[in-house]
Amino acid sequence: MLALTKCGMRDAEMKTLTWAQINFEKRYLAVGRSKTEAGEGRTIPLNSVLHEALSAYSKWYTERVGEMRSEWYVFPFGKPRPHDPARPVTTLKAAWQNLREKAKVTGAGTTTGTCS
């Protein structure tokens, strides 16, 4: 959903997102390390769709991992299923391909990219 909502986050910013960067109450996320100095620390508002998706995902995450520590990655490392929240996912390719298959999308645009 981060990539689909045109939130303005780069691939690496999404992959290294931690729970500490998301403020569900105030409905925003803060970008951590960024490709550019100006991009670091910027905040991105969570619209209702993204807020709902991240809230639902946080419940799945808690069931899968057991808890949400602020320093843990939102998208943890592990194949075939995420299992190491102390390490970030290395690629979003599998998630993107699964989404495309479920949506029955074929053709161009088969690789991951930024969410812009």
Q: How far are the Cα atoms of 42, 82, 84 from residue 99, in angstroms, in the given order?
A: 28, 16, 22
DSSP labels for 61-109?
A: HHHHHS---TTSBSSEE-SSS--EEEEE-S-SHHHHHHHHHHHT--SS-
- Answer whether 0.85 is exceeded by the pTM: no
pLDDT single digits (tens) 12-52: 888 899 999 999 999 999 987 766 666 677 888 999 999 99
Domains of the chain: 11-103 (1.10.443.10)
pLDDT single digits (tens) 78-93: 877 778 899 988 877 7
Phi, psi of 73 (to 5 degrees): -80, 140
Mean local confidence (pLDDT), 63-71? 91
